[in-house]
């Protein structure tokens, strides 16, 4: 991957480029017909998803033996990754870190911007360019919307670009979360997502996971979606319009119980009060959107229960032991699918049997 220059360097300034529709700038983040920077859920085509599912399945199978694990850990032993997490995160951080370790990558971490040179007045651009000087991959999480894309854009305009993976930028994009969600549906449904009825519950307005997952549904046939939320936190119109445009039927309701029996998968989310402008979360009774132990008898025996975690009270801990509760597996799927994504980005997927 060394010394290859992205073909179409942007001649525009960032502000103009950033405003472009995603499909007009997508190929700026690709190389040789593959994604180079993973920034948006919209980059996850059905074909790519199928490839990644296959790589992830092989990774977990091969690493079951010591011999296999050592082999996989030899594949990227010559590569170094930087995990730049300017925003608190346990799960995504550990998931990516251990994905890197599975592949044998050496890792550096910046998890607290107070220890960084930004305190000396360095620009964000210079900071990430510095990171890129020492490593072969940047995995970044940052509170500013568009920050991961900005980093990728910046580096692609230099003579030494390296891939950038978006581990959450602001509240807009978190593509590997979408990836692990869809991978979980894929695994639990044994490859047959087509025809399923998906119920999404909670703070749909501000939860990026449900937005991304809705978007990815376009890749499958005969999907239907039920959105269950307090009226204050309904799914945004842009997603509803998207579903209409792709002929994906959906309903909206505040009555969780009414859709429980029909669900093939229930995707629970927590209230996103970190995005409150002025305490609006506290004015909403969220309890009708909890999944409680007594609900287990209301759902199908084949229905699966997902949650991006962390949870608060949306799912009673007593539910955890039910075999339909797959959120802990979902979490672990995140590590494997991220390892698969990294393997894909570095073009070593064919070495994984």
Q: Which residues bind a copy of itself (CB under 8 A)?
A: 2, 63-64, 66, 69-70, 73-74, 77-78, 80, 82, 85, 88-91, 94-95, 97-98, 101, 106, 108, 110-112, 114-123, 125-127, 129-131, 133-135, 158, 160, 270, 274, 309-312, 317, 320, 328, 331-332, 335
Structural tokens at position 236: 């945004």
Count the Cβ atoms, other than its own, within 10 Å of residue 180.
26
79 is an active site residue: no
* 3-state DSSP assignment of residue 155: helix
200 or 325, CB closer to a copy of itself?
325
Q: What are phi and psi of 34, to 5 degrees?
A: -125, 155
- For a copy of itself, the closer of residues 79 and 197 by Cβ is 79
Instruction: Name residues whose C-beta falls within 8 Å of residue 332's C-beta, 6 or more positions apart in sequence.
Output: none
Comparison of 125 and 252: residue with beta carbon closer to a copy of itself:
125
141 is catalytic: yes
What residues contact 171, with CB distance under 8 A and at least 6 apart?
Answer: 145, 206, 208, 272, 275
Active-site pick, 64, 120, 297, 353: 120
92 flagged as catalytic: yes
Active-site annotation holds for 324: no
- CA neighbor of 312 nearest in space, from 274, 277, 271: 271
123/304 Cα distance (integer angstroms): 45
Q: Which is nearer to a copy of itself, 262 or 292 (CB)?
A: 292
Task: Out of 9, 80, 91, 124, pick the active-site residue.
Answer: 91
Non-local CB neighbours of 351 within 8 Å, separated by 6+ positions? 75
Least distance to a copy of itself, CB of residue 136, Å: 10
* Min separation Cβ 167 and a copy of itself, Å: 14
111 among known catalytic residues: no
Active-site amino acid positions: 91-92, 120, 141, 174
């Amino acid at each position: 991957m060394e010394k290859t220059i992205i073909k179409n360097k942007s001649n525009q300034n960032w502000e103009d480029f950033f405003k472009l529709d995603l499909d007009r700038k997508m190929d700026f983040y690709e190389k040789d017909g593959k994604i180079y920077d993973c920034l948006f859920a919209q980059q996850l085509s059905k074909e790519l998803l199928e490839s990644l599912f296959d790589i992830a399945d092989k990774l977990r199978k091969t690493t079951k033996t010591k011999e296999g694990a050592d082999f996989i850990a030899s594949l990227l032993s010559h590569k170094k990754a930087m995990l730049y997490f300017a925003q608190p995160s346990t799960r995504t951080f550990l998931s990516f870190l251990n994905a890197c370790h599975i592949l044998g990558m050496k890792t550096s971490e910046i998890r607290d911007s107070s220890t960084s040179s930004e305190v000396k007045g360095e620009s964000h651009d210079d900071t990430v360019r510095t990171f890129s000087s020492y490593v072969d991959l940047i995995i970044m999480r940052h509170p500013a919307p568009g920050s991961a894309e900005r980093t990728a854009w910046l580096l692609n305009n230099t003579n030494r670009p390296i891939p950038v993976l978006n581990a959450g930028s602001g509240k807009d994009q978190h593509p590997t979360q979408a990836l692990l969600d869809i991978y979980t549906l894929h695994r639990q449904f044994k490859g047959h997502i087509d025809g399923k009825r998906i119920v999404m519950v909670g703070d749909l307005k501000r939860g990026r996971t449900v937005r991304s997952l809705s978007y990815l549904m376009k890749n499958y046939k005969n999907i239907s979606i039920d959105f269950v939320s307090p009226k204050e936190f309904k799914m945004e119109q842009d997603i509803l319009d998207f579903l209409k445009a792709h002929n994906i039927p959906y309903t909206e309701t505040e009555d969780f119980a009414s859709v429980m029996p029909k669900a093939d998968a229930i995707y629970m989310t927590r209230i996103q009060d970190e995005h409150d402008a002025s305490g609006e979360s506290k004015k909403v009774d969220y309890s009708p959107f909890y999944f409680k132990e007594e609900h287990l008898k209301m759902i199908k025996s084949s229905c699966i229960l997902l949650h991006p975690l962390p949870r608060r009270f949306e799912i009673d801990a007593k539910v955890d032991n039910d075999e339909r509760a797959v959120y802990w597996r979902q979490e672990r799927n995140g590590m494997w699918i991220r390892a698969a994504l990294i393997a894909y980005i570095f073009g070593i997927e064919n070495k994984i049997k």
